[in-house]
Structure 1
Amino acid sequence: MGRVTERRRVTRLRDGRRDARPDALAAEEPLEIRVGGRALTVTMRTPGHDFDLVAGYLVAEGIAARAEDVPALRYCAGTNAEGVNTYNVVDARVSRPETVPVSAYRSLLTSSACGLCGAETVDAVRKRLPADLGDDPLVVTEDVLYSLPDTLRAGQRAFDSTGGLHGAGLFTADGRLLCVREDVGRHNAVDKVIGWALREDLLPLRGHVLMVSGRASFELVQKAAMAGIPMLAAVSAPSALAVDLAEEAGMTLVGFLRGRGGNVYTGADRIS
């Protein structure tokens, strides 16, 4: 399998001095996702937990909602110039291939910065959301909420050496970390967490909190909603469209969660 980090020589500048030294960088490689042997999309990602990534992607696309919907995942023969398998092609077998919409098959590359590139319109994404999350009984105390960023950060092992990976963590209402994943792409880290939950047959994720290390975009709110997660918290800002979608979905959205503070944009009644 591919490596999460790679070493490169750099020239370090410090107060007028310079020295050459090795540095750890986050790896980034393409992953082709296939369904039943047919190419679905290509995404740039950090190698590792690829099956979780594919499973989570299928949840976001509305193709899977239970573990039984994806009975098999396997690596295909994607080779480099030397004929060595790069493990950069994953084929998913889905239980109902006829339900995969034609719009899901994309001809465009999905970058590590945006998982909606080449996707359908925002309105079409909104229509694909599951039932309203407003009736989810999740309640989280302020103390638990404030603890999430540090717990997530402690679980980001590759970030310590690279400083270049986003993190996503799935928590219970009492702040217990169930799963943490890292990737160069925010949306990939979230897909890996949700894909893990799908493969563990935990969806929908009622009563859980998703914590992310960056900002809260429209896309991350959509992915959380598709997985049935009632609360999304981020250390940085949400976009206006993300707030609108969270409101529509009945989700609690928290931004700027740092230290002993944060901004609650929707669903403040879930925080006691």
Structure 2
Amino acid sequence: MDTTDLDLDRLPADRVAADVMRIRGGQRAPASEQDVLAEETPVALAYNGISHATMLASPTDLEDFAVGFSLTEGIVEAARDVRDIVLNVSDDGVVIDIEIASACMARLKTRRRALSGRTGCGLCGVETLPEVLRPVAPVTAETVMRLADLLAGMHAMRRAQALHGATGATHAAAWMTAQGALHAVREDVGRHNALDKLIGALAREGTAAGAGAFLVSSRASFEMVQKTASAGCPILAAVSAPTGLAVRLAQTSGVTLAGFVRGDDATLYTHPQRLPD
């Protein structure tokens, strides 16, 4: 896979400074202070020259994002189907031009034609309800890891969140091995984007997600479970709660779903056998 960055020096920074007036304990500070804010940038994805989706994202690890989004949306089947990635930066945002295999592009065009003219449901650019609830292959990995390692991994992910540490405004997604080692962390203003970046990073380096667990600093929504299953990862641990639809998908797709993973606590919603004491 080739990657090309045009005008890379024009990519927005992932954080910006702002003058703020702090109020603490009901008392206004005598002077303004400088704060650090996480930046978000419009990012458009185009496949073989055809615009597909636009979203707001942190302007970092965009090649990982392009690959991860392409995989979790079912546009490509493997990272090798992505032939080239070009980042085009303008004052309005970033356009990621993604060249994919001709067979993948033919399927995408067929899908787009099938959706044409139907009533949109307004969910993340998906145009029909069946597209939102598209089936995912069951996760077959029998990975088992100690619950204590999972809890320690969540602590380690939090310490590795440099952008969140500076701004308090970003989510993170991490992958840890079954042996308890934190392997990769990606951050973004959007929780879905952070997980796509992580999945893309693993795919680009050839690491099998099925040999470990995903950790996320957010709630576990249906889409987060869907992305986890599509990546073949058997365990998803979230710092907050899951939704009912997310639990039902985790059950049917074979994903071990843990919520409220905080401190020494966790709630196991599905397939708890992968996380023995």
Q: State if a TM-score over 0.5 links the two structures.
A: yes
Corresponding position of 2:18: 8
Are 2:55 and 1:43 equivalent residues in the alignment?
Answer: yes
Distance 1:67 1:4 in 2: 26
Corresponding position of 1:269: 273
Show structure 2 runs of 5+ residues with no match.
Answer: 1-10, 117-121
2:213 is aligned with what amino acid? Answer: V
Task: Give the drift of 1:126.
Answer: 3.9
Please list, as runs of the form range in 1=range in 2, the aligned pairs for 1:197-212 lying within 5 A after superposition. 197-203=202-208, 205-212=209-216
1:91-116, Cα deviation, whole Å (9 max, x unpaired): 11111321215546999xxxxxxx94
Are 2:98 and 1:92 equivalent residues in the alignment?
Answer: yes
1:125-166, Cα deviation, whole Å (9 max, x unpaired): 444412x11x32110112101112111111111111100000
Task: Give the drift of 1:122.
Answer: 4.9
Please list, as runs of the form range in 1=range in 2, the aligned pairs for 1:66-105 lying within 5 A after superposition. 66-76=78-88, 78-80=89-91, 88-95=94-101, 96=103, 97-103=105-111
1:184 is aligned with what amino acid? Answer: V
Q: Contact 2:41–2:93 (CA<8 Å) still a contact in 1? A: no
Would the alpha carbon gap of residues 90 and 213 (structure 1) be closer, same or farther in structure 2, given more than 3 Å must change? same
Corresponding position of 2:8: none
2:67 is aligned with what amino acid? Answer: A
Please list, as runs of the form range in 1=range in 2, the aligned pairs for 1:1-272 lying within 5 A after superposition. 1-15=11-25, 16-18=27-29, 19-76=31-88, 78-80=89-91, 88-95=94-101, 96=103, 97-103=105-111, 116-130=123-137, 132-133=138-139, 135-203=140-208, 205-272=209-276
| 173-182 or 117-126, larger mean C-alpha shift | 117-126
Distance 1:121 1:32 in 2: 21
Q: How many residues are matched?
A: 256
1:188 is aligned with what amino acid? Answer: N
Task: Give the drift of 1:43.
Answer: 0.9
1:156 is aligned with what amino acid? Answer: Q
1:55-102, Cα deviation, whole Å (9 max, x unpaired): 1110111122322111211113x422xxxxx66011111113212155
2:188 is aligned with what amino acid? Answer: D
Quick one: percent identity of the two aligned structures? 36
Q: Contact 1:40–1:104 (CA<8 Å) still a contact in 2? A: no
Show structure 1 runs of 5+ residues with no match.
Answer: 81-85, 108-114
Would the alpha carbon gap of residues 69 and 29 (structure 1) be closer, same or farther in structure 2, given more than 3 Å must change? same
Q: Contact 1:209–1:232 (CA<8 Å) still a contact in 2? A: yes
Distance 2:78 2:45 in 1: 19
| 243-252 or 59-68, larger mean C-alpha shift | 59-68
Q: What TM-score, normalized to structure 1?
A: 0.88
Distance 1:50 1:68 in 2: 17
Task: Give the drift of 1:208.
Answer: 1.6
1:157 is aligned with what amino acid? Answer: A
Q: Contact 2:172–2:186 (CA<8 Å) still a contact in 1? A: yes
Residue aligned with 2:210, SS: coil
Q: Contact 1:35–1:91 (CA<8 Å) still a contact in 2? A: yes
Would the alpha carbon gap of residues 184 and 271 (structure 1) be closer, same or farther in structure 2, given more than 3 Å must change? same
Q: Contact 2:53–2:125 (CA<8 Å) still a contact in 1? A: no
Would the alpha carbon gap of residues 101 and 225 (structure 1) be closer, same or farther in structure 2, given more than 3 Å must change? farther
Distance 1:196 1:35 in 2: 19
Residue aligned with 1:152, SS: helix
Residue aligned with 1:137, SS: coil
